[in-house]
Amino acid sequence: MNFKSILTFTSSVLLALTMLVSCSDDDNGSSDANPPSLTAPESSNNPNLIIGDSADLTFNVNVPGGYASSSVDATNGTASITSEPSVGSTSGNVVVNFTANTPGAATITLTVTDEDGMSDDATTAVSISEEANQVLLNSNITTDTTWETGKVYILGGRIAVEAGATLTIQPGVIVKGEAGTGANASALLVARDATLNANGTADAPIIFTSVADEITPEQVAAGDFTSPNLDPDINGLWGGVIVLGNAPISAAESPAQIEGIPTSDTNGLYGGDDEGDSSGTITYISIRHGGSNIGEGNEINGLTLGGVGTGTTINNVEVVANQDDGIEWFGGNVSIDGIVIWNSGDDGLDTDQDWIGTASNFIIVTPQGGSAFELDGPEGELNRGCHNFVNGVVYAGGEIANLVDFDDNTNAGLTDVYFYGFSDTYMATEEFSPVASFGGDGNCESANWEYTLAEGGAPVDEIFTGVPTEALTEVAANGNSVGPDASNFGWTWAAQSDALESIGL
């Protein structure tokens, strides 16, 4: 190779190396550039759609490298881009039109690419209902809200009415909870300083149930309050209703976190020093198929009342097939008049933490393995007096473990209660409290218990262990002189299905 050739070759190598370094510098410059950034519309502000509906969703985009293109993907529907910035723009809006195809929660994901090939994406969500009268709820209630007669409201998880907000539920509304366990259990939670005005009527009760229940507003409007497809002993399909207030509780700490709600959710706090606190008004409600498990041995009650004060009005409550207790009070002062508990998975009525109130005119039918009453004494030093159960009927059924489970310090009294419906093989699996604890701490009156035993079954002293004879009166089957008038409960599923009539009520 001559000198000229060597020179030419060397020049070519140097040129190639220069180009390689230059390309490398360019690549480094691109990688250091700012990629696009997107802001999706808030899911809580997006409209609830029914199948076939469309909505425009606006994404805000920032594109330092110059806008090049966008693409969109969607679930449970179809999406297309209807408006976008011009090529080279560094900011603007991309409008996506979404059409709902399938009920549930839909997601819409927009991806934006700049002129350097860099991209970013953002996702928003839309709730889709199958029918126009269905509303899917996926976020907490933070402003005054009304749920309207003729509609079904789907709880897409744990929905809290937050402090300062009022939820009004009109007569005949159906609320259905989606399936879920643990932290994903669906429930309606009314936080402290929030208000629930759920005022059904005897002709149009408010029904809380599972999405698996096919009951419709049209059926309720026609006066039929029964489930068309779920048996009245199917439980654990969703959570339940939880109402929390600022009234006193005898917990180690107050406020405390209510059972069934993760400690990460501060809406689950209850308790304070306001005995007259108001959480609203609740009348003519039926809660069904609840009690979803949130952990080992920890389920949600049908109706949970934590630190609820006397400013709250509650009457005419039915709980059907709850996996845990029918109603449980944790402290507070609120009373309830008119109760039906049917097929509770554990206890019918349960009290804790120094509840001071009265449950009157109640019917408990066949608790499935727990007690008709589990009455726990106060925790700690707070003991404000007695809570009372007055004028009730308990139909024991075949699986009940106890009639009344007193603690030694239970501050509870039971007066004018009729116990019957024992199977001929009935034996209490645990003895009742001894005489010294009958009526708990001795300062609360328990008297006038009427009963009918099964022929050939366990004798009275084995069923009512420790109960003074002067408190007991044997009567013929359904010959009781105490207990509520069952005709007042014609609005319940238990009455309409003839479950009450079948036990002589």
pLDDT at residue 428 above 60?
Answer: no
- What mean pLDDT do residues 238-246 have? 97
Side chain identity at 321, as an amino acid letter? A
DSSP 5: H
φ/ψ (deg, to 5) at 29: -65, -40
DSSP 471: G
pLDDT at residue 391 above 90?
Answer: yes
Give per-residue burial for 318-328: e unless 16+ CB within 10 Å, then b.
bbbbbbbbbbb
| 174-178, 184-188, 266-270, 353-357: the lowest-pLDDT one | 184-188
Cα separations in angstroms, 315 against 15, 170, 291, 334, 453: 91, 16, 21, 10, 31
- What mean pLDDT do residues 188-194 have? 98
d(CA 351, CA 412): 9
- Are residues 386 and 410 in contact, defined by beta-carbon separation less than 8 angstroms? no
- Are residues 177 and 237 in contact, defined by beta-carbon separation less than 8 angstroms? yes
Tokens for 116?
């350097």
The pTM of this model reads 0.77
pLDDT tens sequence across 315-364: 999 999 999 999 999 999 999 999 999 999 999 999 999 999 999 999 99
Going from N- to C-terminal start, the domains of the chain cover 37-128, 134-503
User: Would you say domain 37-128 falls under CATH 1.10.287.1080?
Assistant: no
pLDDT at residue 241 above 50?
Answer: yes
pLDDT at residue 270 above 70?
Answer: yes
**Residues 6 or more apart whose Cβ sits within 8 Å of residue 38:** 59, 60, 61, 62, 110, 112, 120, 121, 122
pLDDT of residue 32: 54
What are the DSSP calls for 67-131, one per residue?
EEEEEEEESSEEEEEEE-PPTT-SEEEEEEEEEE-SSEEEEEEEEEEETTS-EEEEEEEEEEESS
Q: How confident is the model at residue 9 (pLDDT cuts 50, 70, 90)?
A: very low
pLDDT of residue 430: 45
pLDDT at residue 24 above 90?
Answer: no
Nearest to 331 by CA among 357, 349, 358: 357
d(CA 342, CA 360): 16
| 83-97, 167-181, 374-388, 467-481: the lowest-pLDDT one | 374-388
Task: Please confirm whether the linkage preceding 41 is cis (ω < 30° from 0).
Answer: no
pLDDT tens sequence across 442-493: 578 889 999 999 888 888 888 887 788 888 999 999 999 999 999 999 999 9
Nearest to 448 by CA among 471, 482, 466, 476: 471
Helix (H) or strand (E) holding 423: none
- What mean pLDDT do residues 265-279 have? 97
**Backbone conformation region of residue 333, classed left if phi is above 0, alpha if psi is from -120 to 50, else beta:** alpha
Q: How confident is the model at residue 39 (pLDDT cuts 50, 70, 90)?
A: very high
pLDDT of residue 127: 86
CA angle 402, 406, 408 (to 5 degrees): 145
**Residues 6 or more apart whose Cβ sits within 8 Å of residue 223:** 203
Tokens for 326?
């029918």
